[in-house]
Amino acid sequence: MKVLVTGGAGFIGSHTVDLLLEKGYKVKVLDLLQKRVHPYGKPRYLSSDIEFIQGDVADKEAMSKALEGVEGVFHLAAYQDYMTDFSNFIRANTLSTALIFEIIVEKKLNVEKIVLASSQSTYGEGKYTCKIHGIQYPDSRSLEQLEKSDWEMHCTEAGCTNYLEPVLIDEAVTNPFTAYGISKEALERLSNKLGKRYSIPTVSMRYSIVQGPRNSFFNAYSGVCRIFTLRLINNKPPVIYEDGKQLRDYVHVLDVAAANILAFENPKCNHSALNVGGTAGTNLLDYTKVLIKVAGKNIEPLIPRYFRYGDTRHTVSSSEKLKSLGWKNKYTLEDIFRDYLKWVHEQPDVKDRYEEVEEIMKKQSVLRQVKSLIKETRK
């Protein structure tokens, strides 16, 4: 079978391409090679066994050429960052998805299935519980709350003073509040409805925080592992936002690539959304300790009382639905760090770019400083 992988030169895309080739698929790749992610052009790790097209997924001519002769699509190209060019999220993530279906229907193409890159960000703040009022799906924290260093989520019921406790996020409820998350939720809705209408099975993969080799050095969004690793390699302390107690789950990119292939090959995944998460929730302080240990450094992190406006407090996904279909995590957090550090040390350009990214986020009013401290009265 011949398949198309959009964004196939990128982080998740290239590992998915490698696994597809290993399994005997013929692979075509459409990738813009955006300079913000690929400043040196086509990466060396990209296999010569693919058919490569450089082009924009939101350009009809490029996408039409890419879809010719393929029977399956992995739509993994995405625009993601903390910047405020909101229209780019919709164009690259949502419009491109509609364009794929438009071309398939218009040209009567024989595409049998589409796997799409979605995101944990479709959940917004995710799922919590109050010991009195039960399960809640709260909206994002207000700027006023964050400026007082009041980090935790409050019960949404009037008069209740309880803090909420995070709960593992299943696939049932989405509640995005960023342009990126909204673009991904819209991508899911489009592909699910159009896929059913035109008898093209689709699967939306809601990735947690994906990490590992080939994670770009060059964009602000590309991950805490990349940011902290470059700081440590350059003998600088990692910088932790908020208080470092926020929970996240981290998944190895090779586990994600395996999940993509399973979703494509297993008909039980058709017309569904699936979490692709890590082994457990880890707070940022513990995450940093493990990374420092694996990196062999003796450097304490900085906690300068900054916060990134728009960040969630606790988001940890449950991957039980995907595991019931045969997937499992093969790699631990330590494996992620070891594999990433090995790859980083093989690269020619590993200078720390934190300060320049920090300055951009400050100018965009994304990164902000606490104005006052509160005494926590947790109940």
pLDDT tens, position by position, 188-207: 999 999 999 999 999 999 99
pLDDT tens, position by position, 339-354: 999 999 888 777 777 7
Predicted pLDDT of residue 37: 85
Predicted pLDDT of residue 378: 47
Q: Cα separation of 294 and 290, whole Å?
A: 6
Query: Within 10 A of 197 (CB to CB), how many other CB atoms are there?
Result: 10
- pLDDT band for position 379 (50/70/90)? very low
- pLDDT band for position 224 (50/70/90)? confident
pLDDT mean over 228-233: 90
Predicted pLDDT of residue 374: 67
Is the pLDDT reported for residue 35 higher than 50?
yes
pLDDT tens, position by position, 109-135: 999 999 999 999 999 999 999 999 999
| Residue 171: DSSP 8-state | S
Q: Cα separation of 78 and 75, whole Å?
A: 9
Predicted pLDDT of residue 84: 76
* 298 and 230 Cβ atoms separated by less than 8 Å: no
Share of the chain above pLDDT 70, in %: 96
Q: Which parts of the chain are beta strand (E)? A: 2-6, 26-31, 51-54, 72-75, 113-119, 127-130, 134-136, 165-167, 202-207, 209-211, 247-248, 250-252, 272-276, 282-283, 306-308, 367-369
Note the pTM of the prediction, 2 decimals.
0.95
Mean pLDDT, the chain, as a whole number? 93
pLDDT tens, position by position, 302-353: 999 999 998 999 999 999 999 999 999 999 999 999 999 999 988 877 777 7
Q: 105 CB contacts (<8 Å, ≥6 apart)?
A: 198
pLDDT mean over 104-113: 98
If one compares 353 and 281, the residue with the highest pLDDT of the two is 281
Q: Cα separation of 71 and 113, whole Å?
A: 7
11-25, 32-46, 237-251: segment of lowest average pLDDT: 32-46
Predicted pLDDT of residue 375: 56
pLDDT mean over 210-231: 81
Reduced to 3 states (helix: H, G, I; strand: E, B; else coil), residue 100 is helix
Is the pLDDT reported for residue 172 higher than 70?
yes
Predicted pLDDT of residue 175: 96
pLDDT tens, position by position, 358-374: 887 888 888 999 988 76
Q: Residues in the chain, how many? A: 379
Fold of 2-369: Rossmann fold (3.40.50)
- pLDDT band for position 22 (50/70/90)? very high
Predicted pLDDT of residue 82: 64
Phi, psi (5° rounding) for residue 334? -65, -40
